[in-house]
Amino acid sequence: LKDMKRLQHGDMKLGPLRFTRRHTVLIDVDTFNSQRKFLPQKGRDLWHSDFVKMPCSQSANQKSRWDVISKKLKSLASKKTVSVKDVEEAIIKYNPKYKDQWSFDALHTFNKNIPDTENYFKTLFPKIAALALKLPDFVNKAIPLLRKGQSATITLSQVQISCLLANAFFCTFPHRNTSNPTAEYSGYPTINFNSLFGNWSERKREKLRAIMHYFKEVTDESTRPKGLVTFHRECLSYTDMPTWESCKENLSKLHITSEGQIELEGKGMLQVDFANSLIGGGVLGSGLLQEEILFLINPELIVARLFTEKLEDNECLIITGSQQFSSYSGFGDSFEWAGPYEDQSERDQWARRKTQILAIDAMNFRHSMDQYKMRHINRELNKAYCGFKGYDGHEKPDIATGKWGCGAFNGDPQLKALIQLMAAAKAKRGLAFFTFGDEYLKQSLQHIYDLMFAEGITVGTLYKLLCEFSSAKHRDSHVDLFDFIKKNIRNSKSHL
Ligand code: APR
């Protein structure tokens, strides 16, 4: 881990905020420059298919709904204590269609099961309601949708994010509650929290502990976060996709460890989120794998679900400046919220934390053999490269990653490690690889890397080896990638 620290760019600069047609800044920059305060930028409320449709929109059909919502929220916010029943009743009041569909049993059971010392929720609910009510003041400029096929950026203040998430908690976002494939937002993740409140399980208990802790922090004047967060969707054009077989780059530096985790030991690096194409995956449902855990300990990431359309094969999302609020232990069923986390990450000149999270979704291989087809290897190479190459003059710290796509998505860790190594080399960035306790992978990857490095293998040569391996694997499914490379590496440079 000491070497890992050396890999980190302690003085990582994130580059200037560029105000371009494609970068929407939701805070008032002049005010920020002169007084170091963030005020929402004045703009127009746009009820339009290119923007997030807001619950407080003044559009004809929405105004009366916001009247009902704000009346309900005001009534909750005015009380000292609010029960789960009151929360449920309010949400259903302005979402009557879902009266018999939405269940709140997880929230009820959670409230009953949690020890008294930790049960501050009755007094927290009014504060979340008060925060949600601030929406028309805090976010009064339309939020553009980060749509497929376009690179674009949004910067919000952490306070704006907390207000949007308070609205998600109270399920106020319109047009977002149907999974009908022809519905307007069917290509977007869900954002209203109703799915978090139903289907009680131990997992839900731990998720709710993390989420409630976030709201406790952001509704308290003394702990309210004061920075900015930037969300950038990067779309790699077909002309920018590398011709992999002719890449002349040598492999980048690689550090492999079986200890530690991306989000802790990888602080200061570009941290890879093993994402779903619908950003955040099952964070508001029952999922509790790497991505969902990342989103629970950094709940500001959840707001990306409001405006990020499903990622295409040549796209990724990079989030700069989000804050970690919670600690945790375990994974999946053993996940536990382990208390508050005090994020000490430095901030850049735009008050963003020096944290970059890269969401890239691997392919989900229901049939394991599919991943060895060259068109799938190409897809994964371009996906990783899209995220690793950086954007718009951003500093490029080393990358913290691991068994991307090798859990729920059934990928081969050897193949995925080489794919990421090639993409990192092409992007000229070092790689820290966390095998997450997999000692065998650590040793075998180190061995094959040392061998390839000693032979001076380039990205192009490795690509050609992968092409040969792909054919060999389809002739004999038992061929092991690292064994194949060991056997063929000497010939590769002369014959390929
Ligand atoms: N740091 C390093 N490695 C980790 C970490 C971590 N914090 N957490 C998990 N891993 C390792 C584990 O070995 C895990 O099996 O990465 C492997 C892959 O993790 P998954 O989360 O299963 O990733 P993937 O196969 O890409 O599945 C993505 O899962 O979380 C959902 O929304 C996500 O639908 C998407 C799917």
Question: Does residue 341 surpass a pLDDT of 70?
Answer: yes
Q: Which of 289, 328, 445 to mutate to test the pocket of ligand 1 (most atoms within 8 A of CB)?
A: 289
Pairing of strands 399-402, 431-434: parallel
Question: Does residue 245 surpass a pLDDT of 50?
Answer: yes
Q: In what order do the strands lie in the sheet with 315-320?
A: 23-25, 152-157, 228-235, 315-320, 356-361, 270-275, 399-402, 431-434, 254-257
> Quick one: average pLDDT of 328-349?
95
CA of 332 from ligand 1 middle (Å) equals 10
| Single-letter residue type at 343 | D
Question: Does residue 281 surpass a pLDDT of 50?
Answer: yes
- Measured from the Cβ of residue 457, the count of other Cβ atoms closer than 10 Å reads 20
| Single-letter residue type at 130 | A
Higher pLDDT pick, 436 / 115: 436
DSSP string, 134-160: THHHH--SPPBPB-TT--EEEEEEHHH
Q: What is this model's ipTM? A: 0.99
pLDDT grade, residue 351 (50/70/90)? confident
Higher pLDDT pick, 110 / 496: 110
> Quick one: average pLDDT of 473-487?
96
Percent over 70 (pLDDT), the chain: 92
CB 120 within 8 A of CB 216: yes
> Quick one: average pLDDT of 249-257?
98
Strand partners, 318: 232, 358
> Quick one: average pLDDT of 303-308?
98
Question: Does residue 300 surpass a pLDDT of 90?
Answer: yes
Strand partners, 274: 360
Distance (Å, rounded) from C-alpha 351 to C-alpha 32?
A: 10
CB 108 within 8 A of CB 59: no
The angle, 0 to 180 degrees and rounded to 10, between the axes of the packed helices 413-426 and 374-388 is 50
Higher pLDDT pick, 238 / 491: 238
pTM: 0.94
Distance (Å, rounded) from C-alpha 272 to C-alpha 228?
A: 20
> Quick one: average pLDDT of 427-448?
98
> Quick one: average pLDDT of 101-126?
91
Q: What is the per-residue pLDDT for 31?
A: 46
Q: What is the per-residue pLDDT for 12?
A: 31
Question: Does residue 11 surpass a pLDDT of 60?
Answer: no
Residue 96 CB partners (closer than 8 Å, separation 6+): none
Higher pLDDT pick, 41 / 151: 151
Residues 192-231: tens digit of each pLDDT: 999 999 999 999 999 999 999 999 999 999 999 989 999 9
Asked whether 291 lines ligand 1 (CB < 6 A), one says: yes
Nearest-CA residue for ligand 1 atom 1 is 261
Distance (Å, rounded) from C-alpha 464 to C-alpha 457?
A: 11
Which DSSP state fits 321? S
Backbone φ and ψ for 477, nearest 5 degrees, come out as -65, -10
Nearest-CA residue for ligand 1 atom 18 is 407
- Concerning whether 118 is annotated as a catalytic residue, the answer is no
Asked whether 335 lines ligand 1 (CB < 6 A), one says: no
Nearest-CA residue for ligand 1 atom 3 is 436
Distance (Å, rounded) from C-alpha 250 to C-alpha 457?
A: 6
Distance (Å, rounded) from C-alpha 494 to C-alpha 221?
A: 66
- Concerning whether 273 is annotated as a catalytic residue, the answer is yes
- Helices and strands counted in the chain (H then E): 18, 11
Asked whether 274 lines ligand 1 (CB < 6 A), one says: yes
Q: What is the per-residue pLDDT for 180?
A: 86
Distance (Å, rounded) from C-alpha 270 to C-alpha 9?
A: 10
Q: State the average pLDDT for the chain.
A: 91
Nearest-CA residue for ligand 1 atom 29 is 408
pLDDT grade, residue 494 (50/70/90)? low
Determine the atom of ligand 1 nearest the C-alpha atom of 437: 13
CA of 405 from ligand 1 middle (Å) equals 7
Nearest-CA residue for ligand 1 atom 5 is 290
Backbone φ and ψ for 360, nearest 5 degrees, come out as -130, 135
pLDDT grade, residue 468 (50/70/90)? very high
Give me the catalytic one of 88, 292, 309, 361.
292
Question: Does residue 269 surpass a pLDDT of 80?
Answer: yes
Asked whether 406 lines ligand 1 (CB < 6 A), one says: yes
Backbone φ and ψ for 348, nearest 5 degrees, come out as -90, -175
CB 361 within 8 A of CB 315: no
Question: Does residue 232 surpass a pLDDT of 80?
Answer: yes
Give me the catalytic one of 217, 263, 291, 361.
291
Q: How many CA atoms lie within 13 A of 2 on its CB side?
A: 0
* Joined tokens for residue 47: 């009820």
Residue 56 CB partners (closer than 8 Å, separation 6+): 45, 62, 66, 70, 135, 136
